[in-house]
Structure 1
Amino acid sequence: MKKVRWVLYCLLFFTTAQAQYYLRGEVKNERGQWLQGARINLSSKGSFPYYSGSSGTFGISVSKITDTIRISRDGYEDLTVVIDTRKFQSLLMKMLPTTAHLYNRKLASLTTNLRRQKNNSFSVPGESYSNLVENDFIEADKYPETGFALNINKASYSNIRRFLSNEMMVPIDAVRIEEMLNYFDFTQAPAPQQQGYFNCRSQLTSCPWEEKNQLLFLHVTAPKLALDSIPPSNLVFLIDISGSMDKPNRLPLLQAAFTLLTDNLREKDTITIVTYGGGVGIALPPTSGAQKKKIRQAIDSLVASGDTPGEDAIHIAYELARRSFIKKGNNRVILATDGDFNIGQTSEAALEDMIAGYKQTGIYLTCLGVGMGNYKDSKLEALAKKGNGNFAYLDNLQEAQKTLVTEFTQTLYAVANNAFLKIGFLPNTIKQYRLIGFDNKLHAAEDSTSELEGGEIGSGHSLMAIFEIVPGKQTTATPLLANAYIQYRLPGSDSSRKQNFPVLQQVQPIAATDSAYRFAAAVAMFGSILKKSIYTRNYLPEDVWTLAQSAVNLQHPQQVELLALIEKAIKIYQPGKRKKNEK
């Protein structure tokens, strides 16, 4: 009997010593957002890591009632705390200052302490666009310095083309003039005035829509990567295959687009394909770019169906990109969708907050929009800008080829991050100025805590920015009109660089200046008329056609196409009208 008692006692002791507990908990930040992918270490488990799931939750089997948990995540302070493993743990991580500022509202351009007026606009049923506030004239003596973000986004132009090609008026907020200008290559303009990482040249001309004013052109050109020095790529294709994509100009167009991109892949590139529609799936695990047949087969096998769990898909895509991360490589998620998220986070604000947490991972985001009728431009624009990336709209296969083949390195390889240009006008040189394009979202413009957000610049990108200027009454003896500088960071670096440029006040009649500047003025004028700007209210598309026709280069198909689009606009926007100032 004593022997039996001894055996029972030993069994009871052993069971107690090896008792298992299930530690459950969640990881959030100070904004109450669940943090996916937070690394979790327990003292009882040594160095073995665990990670929080897509909703920030975790569950771990442990053998101790008391343990020490350590949580770490990029952009957050490490958290170490002693816990009772029997209780549910709600753990709060504190953002580092560099992460916290990412959640502030961001501006495309910034001049402080200005009151904005709302624009009247119309919408297209089923589609969504950010409500924009057009930049006003600013008193130069009160606010001599202004700035704007540099980026390679071009979505607005091809979306405008879609409306005009379908003989439809263009929604006012769909017109982003800086993206219209981005669409064209202005490298035929005169040779750069100076050398550096960026080239920037300026030109001051008369204004074609206001004879008393002048136009200041700033032409910025980014460095171009040599083909033999392009780093290896880790690309995750994140493709929307939900039911809304079951139309010829959606999933089939994207399949053709990604097939074109596949032709440019190299053996050292890694490709992963994630799909979402009814659920999230991995259509292709990490695969070498040399296995083109396997990649094409995965792309061809996609079929559209189900709802749109975009939020979960984005989390999984970033996690897969993180696992295949290439140091000093090109790590990028390419999201292709009509933007019609209907599961999980669906508002622009929620999507911005979600994607901002990934900005410091070193993983870029390219958004490719497709479709019409339920196209959500505002959501894709928000994701691209917050996700350290760029944004294009594919309205046809030719546009897909331009974006992913002709401009392959420009779209997918960054040469600068957080890039913006600031310009300070010298005293008494001008009376007023306004930046054409780079309009801010209404809510960001009204928020006094908003900051100027720089953008991603791709290899060899050419950007044209235009100011309309009201000259001062007296001319100054100095040849300088303003001083400008570009601030940027090199990919993989946290330190900012600055490059200065002089802006001269040598005025030329626009009719006598280089055709590149006249064509840029025509693009800006066209955009202003489409968005019903008060600054071009006395003008019609016919006037734009006259200016564009004098500048178009017949050897450039894209410039010739603009003339055709202006002709379509003349037919759509009441061609019988004449300028109000005509006698």
Structure 2
Amino acid sequence: MNKPSSISKRVVLLCMGTLAVMGGGVTLFGNNLRKLTGASSEALAGNDVQYAPRLAKKSLRTFGSNEEEGNAYTYAPAPRGGPATAGSTHSAERPNPFTRASEDRLSTFAVDVDTASYTLFRRYVTQGHLPPPESIRVEEWVNYFRYRYPSPTDGDFRVDLEGAPSPYTRGRHLVKVGLQGRTIAKSQRKPTHLVFLVDTSGSMNAADKLPLAQKSMKLMVDGLNETDTVALVTYASGVRDVLPPTPASQRDTLFDAIDSLTAGGGTAMGNGLELAYRHAARNAHPRNVSRVVVLTDGDTNIGPRNPDSLLETIQGYVQEGVTLSTIGLGMGNYRDDLMERLANKGNGNSFYIDSEREARRVFQERLAGTLEVIAQDVKVQVEFDPTAVRGYRLVGYENRALADRDFRDDKVDAGEIGAGHTVTALYEVDLTGEGSRVATVRVRSKRPGGMEAAEQSFPLERASLHADLDEASSNLRFAAAVAGTADILRGAPEAREWSLATAESLAEESVDGQPDRAEFLGLLRQVREWRTSSVAASYPD
């Protein structure tokens, strides 16, 4: 086979970023690029769809499974990057398949406001690597960012629905389901009782581990009310009860205890969890917030090492109203999978802290949402009308999927929404061009500590869909940029023909002056440069 010429190489590079018509001198960016991909009013009417959709029947086995019989899934290799973190065991989830609405019209999942996967991505890129594809959880990328949804006027949250032609797949649409939680003023927060559980093992002896954990705890203490309390427990080769529950008003005492921590020894996480939860359970009450905050690099090598043992430790205390936040730090032996599972089991949230700036974001700017749950066991069920929808795919949320029958089973655990939190999910849908209602979105949740669930219903009418992506909100366009990037980098089969150039165009036009969005755009450009270089290297002159 002849070696590709330098002209061929340049054509490949152009296709990676822009589409150029060489003879006419036309370069397609922004709006023109989106129009080329089929974002048109004709697509909205379902008239110009010329493709063979890959539709599959959804099954319970599909969710949480890495392969199906006769259809093993493998991730696309990263074009650039170092090895996965040592000791890291990610649990890869098979991306949701495109599902025929005529065979299964219901899609059900628990909400998720974890953000660790995105922060890990940022850490990898700033260190010059792509993240392991199996560490990418699309919903955590999307939900890292703020979205300007209407505030609730009645109840704990409000649902914002929107749809527009997809910028990625010609003939398909994107539908956004956004939940906005009510905000709580500092003076209105419930009394909070925190137990910091700090990993002080030898592996925490690094600038981005224990010292960053200490800064994070101080930031959280600074945001507490004077009547709140803080206890401090550490674990290494053994467990140490450093400080009993102490009023947040005794700031010097708390800071001295935090500053006294040093790293050394093994990692008895299981034993530390047991002691921390016993402290927290003493103050558990529906009128209080009682939360364990674990700060660790995620490894555990002494004590109950089996993750199931750690999860069993948590289960009993969850029933008493104790919640959990896991705070990941550092690289090398970070167990992202374990931290996420612990947070999910503990009715809490999972964060990864890669800098003091991120610590301020989590523990100062969004402290109320980090600490106080306003709705628990929050489930979303989207019912697609087969008259209007041929098929659909939920982008992400694979490990938050629920059986459809569990939506109204209030004994089934689901996700939580903190004060002021937003939760966003995207569906890729294939419209038929018929029918007046695209879908009905139902949300079911309980008040914290409650047993009775309430349910709300929200229709998405065909007439309310945007005819062109340009008409959509910056929320939808930016979420599409983030979700598309994550789906591409994890090698999702449905995203094999998607383009990072399109994602970059969407992000550019929807930054809206928000620093976090601008930062994502910079990271995306770096990733595109690496991928372009990788393609160029595979076609040498």
CA–CA separation in structure 2 for the residues paired with 1:254 and 1:355 = 22
Contact conserved, 1:153 with 1:182, CA < 8 A, in 2? Answer: yes
1:404 maps to a residue whose letter is: F
**Alpha-carbon distance, 1:327 to partner:** 5.0
Aligned to 1:218: 177
User: What is the rounded CA distance, in whole Å, between the counterparts of 1:250 and 1:453 in structure 2?
Assistant: 32
Pairs within 5 Å for 1:94-133: 112-113=59-60, 115=62, 116=68, 117-121=71-75, 123-133=84-94
1:256 and 1:275 map into 2 onto residues whose CA distance is 16
Of 544, 559, 565, which residue of structure 1 is paired with 2:523? 565
Q: What one-letter code is carried by the residue in structure 1 that aligns with 2:378?
A: A
Structure 2 counterpart of 1:568, one-letter code = Q
CA distance in 2, matches of 1:150, 1:220: 9
Aligned to 1:463: 423
Aligned to 2:372: 413
The letter for the 1-side match of 2:382 is I
Question: Counterparts of 1:427 and 1:132 in 2: how far apart (Å)?
Answer: 27
- Equivalent in 450, 457, 461 of residue 504 of structure 1: 461
User: Where does residue 449 of structure 2 map in the other structure?
Assistant: 492
How many angstroms does 1:574 deviate by? 3.5
Shift of residue 293, structure 1, vs aligned partner: 0.3
Query: In 2, distance between residues paired with 1:417 and 1:153?
Result: 14
Could you tell me which runs of 5 or more consecutive residues in structure 2 were left unpaired when the two chains were aligned. Answer: 1-56, 63-67, 78-83, 537-541
- 1:483 and 2:443 aligned: no
Conserved in 2, the CA contact under 8 Å of 1:149 and 1:452?
no
Deviates more, 1:535-544 or 1:228-237: 535-544
Between structures 1 and 2, the one with greater helix share: 2
Aligned to 1:348: 307
Q: Distance in 2 between matches of 1:503 and 1:355?
A: 39
5 Å-filtered alignment, 1:114-193, equals: 115=62, 116=68, 117-121=71-75, 123-187=84-148, 189=149, 191=150
Q: Which amino acid aligns with 1:501?
A: F
Write the distance in 2 (CA, Å) between the matches of 1:372 and 1:543: 31
State the Cα deviation string for residues 499-552 of structure 1 (Å, max 9, x = none): 221122233211221122111110111111111122222244333212211222
Q: What's 2:274 paired with? A: 315
Q: Secondary structure at the match of 1:356?
A: helix
- Indicate the SS of the match to 1:357: helix
Could you state the TM-score of these two structures normalised by the residue count of structure 2? 0.81
- When the two structures are aligned, how many residues end up with a matched partner? 459
Q: Which structure has the bigger radius of gyration?
A: 1
Note if contact 1:241-1:251 (Cα within 8 Å) is conserved in structure 2: yes
Mean CA deviation greater in 289-298 or 490-499: 490-499
Alpha-carbon shift at residue 278 of structure 1 (Å): 1.7
More strand by share: 1
Shift of 1:112: 4.4
Aligned to 1:246: 205
Q: Residue type matched to 1:468 in 2?
A: E
Tell me the SS of whatever aligns to 1:133.
coil
Tell me if the contact between 1:118 and 1:133 (Cα under 8 Å) persists in the aligned partners.
no
Matched residue, 1:377: 336
Q: Partners of 1:194 and 1:427 in 2: how far apart? A: 32
Describe how 1:10-409 pairs up with structure 2 within 5 A. Answer: 112-113=59-60, 115=62, 116=68, 117-121=71-75, 123-187=84-148, 189=149, 191=150, 195-326=154-285, 328-409=287-368
Q: What SS class does the counterpart of residue 417 from structure 1 fall into?
A: strand
Higher relative contact order (CA 8 A, sep 6+): 2
1:118–1:391 Cα change, 3 Å = farther
Partner of 2:494, secondary structure, is: helix
In structure 2, C-alpha distance between the alignment counterparts of 1:240 and 1:124, rounded to whole Å: 19
**Separation of aligned partners in 1, 2:146 and 2:124:** 23
Q: In 1, Cα distance between the equivalents of 2:93 and 2:453?
A: 29
Q: Give the C-alpha shift of residue 359 in structure 1.
A: 1.6
Task: Report the counterpart of residue 494 of structure 2 in structure 1.
Answer: 535
- Alpha carbons 2:112, 2:400 under 8 Å: kept: no
Say which SS state the counterpart of residue 525 (structure 2) adopts: helix
Structure 2 Cα separation of the partners of residues 142 and 523 of structure 1: 30
Q: Given that residues 234 and 326 in structure 1 are in contact (C-alpha distance below 8 angstroms), is that contact kept between their aligned partners in structure 2?
A: no
Q: Distance in 2 between matches of 1:402 and 1:567?
A: 23
CA deviation after TM superposition for structure 1 residue 336, in Å:
0.6
Task: Please give the residue correspondences for 1:444-459 in structure 2 after superposition, counting only pairs within 5 Å.
Answer: 453-459=413-419
Cα deviation for residue 192 of structure 1 reads 6.8
User: For 1:347 and 1:471, how far apart are their aligned partners in 2?
Assistant: 46
One-letter amino acid of the counterpart of residue 350, structure 1 = S
Q: Aligned-pair distance for 1:138? A: 0.6
Residue by residue, what CA displacement relative to the aligned partner does 1:4-53 show, whole Å, maximum 9, x if unpaired? xxxxxxxxxxxxxxxxxxxxxxxxxxxxxxxxxxxxxxxxxxxxxxxxxx
Aligned residue type for 2:107:
T
The code of the aligned residue for 1:492 comes to G
Contact in 2 for aligned 1:241/1:304 (Cα 8 Å)? yes
**In structure 2, distance between residues paired with 1:576 and 1:169:** 12
The TM-score, its normalising length taken from structure 1, stands at 0.75
| Map of 2:43 onto structure 1 | none
Q: Give the Cα separation in 1 of the matches to 2:227 and 2:243.
A: 17
On the 8 A contact 1:234/1:321 being kept in 2, the answer is: yes
Q: Equivalents in 1 of 2:290, 2:175: separation in Å?
A: 37
**Structure 1's 239 and 432: CA in aligned 2 closer, same or farther, altered over 3 A?**
same
Aligned residue for 2:141, secondary structure, equals helix
* Aligned-residue offset at 1:273: 0.2
For the 8 Å contact 1:165–1:568, the answer to whether it is kept is no
CA distance in 1, matches of 2:72, 2:342: 24
Q: Provide Cα deviations, 1:298-351, integer angstroms capped at 9, x if missing partner.
A: 000000001000001000001111224355111000011011011122233333
2-side partners of 1:502 and 1:167: how far apart?
Answer: 45
Distance (Å, rounded) in 1 between the aligned partners of 2:156 and 2:286: 23
Structure 1's unaligned 5+ residue stretches are: 1-109, 579-583
**2:50 matched residue in structure 1:** none
After superposition, the Cα gap between the structure-2 partners of 1:532 and 1:192, relative to the gap in structure 1 and judged at 3 Å, is: same
Q: 1:181: Cα distance to partner?
A: 1.0
Higher mean C-alpha deviation, range 492-501 or range 428-437: 492-501
Secondary structure of 1:126's partner?
coil
The 10-residue stretch of structure 1 (121-130 or 329-338) with the greater mean CA deviation from structure 2: 121-130
Could you give the per-residue CA deviations for residues 95-149 of structure 1, whole angstroms, max 9, x where no partner exists?
Answer: xxxxxxxxxxxxxxx9644544543247443222122111000110111111111
Quote the Cα distance in structure 1 between the aligned partners of 2:376 and 2:434.
Answer: 38
- Structure 2 counterpart SS, 1:571: helix
SS in 2 for 1:169: coil
Q: Is the 8 A contact 2:152 2:180 kept in 1?
A: no
State the Cα deviation string for residues 239-294 of structure 1 (Å, max 9, x = none).
00001100111001000111111111222111100000121001111111100000
CA distance in 2, matches of 1:541, 1:339: 32
